[in-house]
Structure 1
């Protein structure tokens, strides 16, 4: 079990961490224990949701206006309330152009995310072919964007804005707190690295299987709930 610290600053990913991974992103309801547990933790400690989702969309799953980072670091604000984009006009324009040219492949699902979007291919009849066509589509990706390949999904984000840059900025605002980051996907590795490179204590936890540079691991949302209950 990962360590429990006295003065935590929580950074919690949503999909795969607070909610099980499902085929339909619109059906990713939180773990049954998560709502009450998040309310308790948020009342006692600074807590941020760090997600690839747009923060307005996340409000359909969370019942409180939690502080949050959205779009993998390109958005900051409050779930269901105010949120502001950190991306440049050039990145926003490039995203718009790419959105209009997504390959017409049967089974691809485009998840709209305010100024950004993700393309899921888990429903494609031939996932390998779909992935190859998506790679061809992104072969000439503009320098202002990065492509993030996750769990049967590719997402686009502005270059230089990551979950790592976001959590580093927030952690600097709470120098007496110990960052505790839980996440399951490739974009969370940026956050693990950013916190580990700070000259202070931090707890980094990979949720699920796969290679990681996190210091500890939990198997899934059930184990996440068990761990977070130790702070209650």
Structure 2
């Protein structure tokens, strides 16, 4: 791992001092799983379950906070099995899907979710025309139930298609009372009801946390980093981890630690667990 400054190292040390009262929040795509052309094939890194189990012994709780539907994250990550192990050890795993609009925990074992937002059905009705007009009719459209994601990764020039689509889809989302969330070769449209920063704030309060580590990789994680800024001002220890890649660097300037992809994230989490154990 690479600390961006001496302040990053100091924040890491401060978090170690309150490790047993720390919540670890993790994005899924690009953080726990690699970015792949087919979202349905984005399985969790093979080392992740063992690392999460090891980490759980040293922290208060672990939460996966993702734009994916919670059921997808559970299945692609084998997270129900991880949750079983953590629950038996007296720890809890949380999964927040669709930016917090869906919730699952290893203690409750069922997904609680909201209804699809108003305007989503009419947005989907108007979407094909917008794609054709932007010369991206072959973009892969993923229906998430509470959101719609338009993927440009499979198109011949993914970056150019993304740039062409962003303005018209932002306007179309506005017309239908929705918000747009850009990511790595993907544009997601959803309700304005929740975001990852709200999940971070809520979890820290409910669990009476003294520290919070969040790892993410793209623009959908900005609000989570900003929430850590606010919590830090209130006296909480906080660490912002960027899972960087050659495709996306939006979080680097906001981060305390930069690692390379899921393997780097897991290496950091394992190091944190071992450092925390050594300080007990």
Q: TM-score, normalised by structure 1?
A: 0.87
In structure 1, the partner of 2:238 is 202
In structure 2, the partner of 1:189 is 222
Q: Does 1:57 align with 2:98?
A: no
Match of 2:111 among 80, 83, 89: 83
Name the one with the larger helix percent.
2
1:99-134 deviation per Cα after TM superposition (whole angstroms, max 9, x unaligned): 222225343111221222211011123442464245
Structure 1 contact 73–164 (Cα < 8 Å) conserved: no
How far did 1:143 drift? 7.0
CA distance in 2, matches of 1:18, 1:68: 13
How far did 1:85 drift? 2.8
How far did 1:150 drift? 0.9
CA distance in 2, matches of 1:144, 1:136: 14
| Larger Cα-atom Rg | 2
1:127-206 matched pairs, under 5 angstroms: 127=158, 128-129=160-161, 131-133=163-165, 135-140=167-172, 141-142=174-175, 144-198=177-231, 199=234, 200-206=236-242
Question: How many residue pairs align between the two structures?
Answer: 229
How far did 1:18 drift? 0.8
How far did 1:40 drift? 3.0
In structure 2, the partner of 1:31 is 45
> Unpaired runs of 5+ in structure 1?
none
Q: Does 1:71 align with 2:71?
A: no
Q: Does 1:94 align with 2:122?
A: no
1:34-49 matched pairs, under 5 angstroms: 34-42=48-56, 44-45=58-59, 46-49=61-64
How far did 1:26 drift? 0.9
SS at match of 2:127: coil
How far did 1:163 drift? 0.3
CA RMSD between the two structures:
2.4
Q: TM-score, normalised by structure 2?
A: 0.74
Structure 1 contact 121–131 (Cα < 8 Å) conserved: no
CA distance in 2, matches of 1:168, 1:143: 28
CA distance in 2, matches of 1:130, 1:107: 12
Give 4+ residue runs of structure 1 displaced > 6 Å after superposition. Answer: none
CA distance in 1, matches of 2:99, 2:121: 17
Distance change (3 Å), C-alpha of 1:211 and 1:106 = closer
Q: Which moved more, 1:210-219 or 1:25-34?
A: 210-219
